[in-house]
Structure 1
Amino acid sequence: MQGSRPCCLTSRTMSSRERTTTPSGTRVRRSIRTMSSIAASMFLLPAKTVIAEEQCVQKNWWEISSMENAESLALMFDRESRRYFVYREGHITSSRKALSMYFEIARAPFVKNICEIGFNAGHSTSIFLNANPNARVWSFDLGQFDYTIRQGDLARELFPDRFHLTLGPSQESVEEFHRLYPDITCDVISVDGDHSTEGTYTDLVNMRKMATCRNWVLMDDAGWNSTNTAWQKAKDDGIITQMECFVDMAPVPNYQFMDFPDNRSWCVGFFNVEGCPRWFDEDKNPNEPVTRVRPIEYEL
């Protein structure tokens, strides 16, 4: 990791000795002045300044928020996970459109805590951490793969004090975490864990308990029948309000023909939190009885 180096300059007033020294270092002979002339010079003569170096921290590239850096960081996490030569799952860098939306939602000025179910190798986590330097990320993962713990260590190394990983079944660990730390609330919630209908629905129910009033929810793989059904049930039960669901048509448009399509698909919405202001009248609820994912055409 790169170290910090001096990068700031500040000015200071020169001492009287410095002001009366020639470039060669020889003091200029001065006649004795009266107290009145000295007092006058204090108010009339502008003070000369010199530039002095002051130590300050220069950020590393992965700490500087930008789409380019976020994508590069996610790809670095992907390369690191390949060291273990084990089964690897899909990740967000397969769709630049999904990456862009996750990045933009995470960087909102009110976002202080981002909570995600499904750390895996840390691809989405790296996007969140780069997108918002002021936010902390709280991840929950089953921990079924060897690389998950090591990737978590990497995230902590690169972003000290901003990343926390809890291992275990999210249906249990999220509730236990909320019981132990009730003051930690979530402004952005990402659900990408258990992909069964029951597991996804339980994750949505549990994460709503930690959501702030001005929250955003992202759910991955909305094109899968199981997760799509869970999202729809959460809408029907008044747990969540849907904004939109998308599917990236790259690399091939097979999402409508398979239970588990390769296309990157996701939903965006927000939790309806008890005690929070309603954003719309009940008779204008935008939720529909079916969750459809809107195709985004692939651009070369």
Structure 2
Amino acid sequence: MTTADVPGLPAPGRCLVMGVVNVTPDSFSDGGAWFDHEKAIHHGLNLAAEGADIVDVGGESTRPGAQRVSREEELRRIVPVIEALTAEGVPVSVDTMRAEVAEAAIEAGARLVNDVSGGLADPDMPRAVARAGVPYVVMHWRGHSHDMQTRAVYQDVVREVRDELLQRVEVVLQEGLDPAKVILDPGLGFAKNPTAGHNWSLLAHLDAFTSTGYPVLVGASRKSFLGRLLTDAEGTPRPFGECDDATVAITSLVAAAGGWCVRVHRVRPNADAVRVAAAVRAAGGGQGDRPGAGPGSGRP
């Protein structure tokens, strides 16, 4: 599938880049940096200028161990940011697990709902998204942040994650959402044990998800499994903010494998990576892909 298969979203003929704006004080990689509304808006505009096709605005941290915030606080954090970015023409997604927050965000201009729980945290979410008619990211999830890692037990992580995702998709479709607006996310880092290699197995077998016919979003940016790979001589994992180069490597692999979108903290290098991958796929006859727009683009 290509980006054109998701109505209402950018369709540049390559893997999309989703830039992250965490309007939170406690997100794992950049908590507090964009908690102020003006800073968050400025950051979102910068991400768009650097090549983000979508800017993902979230007001609740989902880092391991995070506690939930109230609906009112989540709305206070994100609605002004979404309104300001959409007023500037930036395509915005909302990162939320609450149906009421999703509805308010859509009213404020959001064009996509990115739900890390796949509708499990709030049973009203699938119905709300279907009613709004916007695209919906269904992520694999087994529980809230405070205990999700205790649920990272699998016999076959690829098969089980795929099957559980498709079960959630069935629920969403039963509520009336257009199948063309369903997007899958294997949920790297969420109820995935980094020492057991769960995240690497999912990345190595991304075709198990792209073969479903649904677009696939991958969020590997700055996650702890990258830091655990890139340890120093003493075995200390690399800090979150120093895993951006590794994130670009993941982006290249995802884009080359036919991923629909990557969710990242640093946009410019990842935007470069998806364009390079698109050029290679086009040169090799990759169906539905073409190099990014610009002088000299396209096959000779």
Query: Which interval holds the TM-score relative to the shorter structure?
Result: 0.3 to 0.5
- Higher RCO, 1 vs 2 (CA within 8 Å, ≥6 residues apart): 2
> Of the two, which has the highest radius of gyration?
1
Structure that is richer in helix per residue? 2
TM-score, length-normalised on structure 2?
A: 0.33
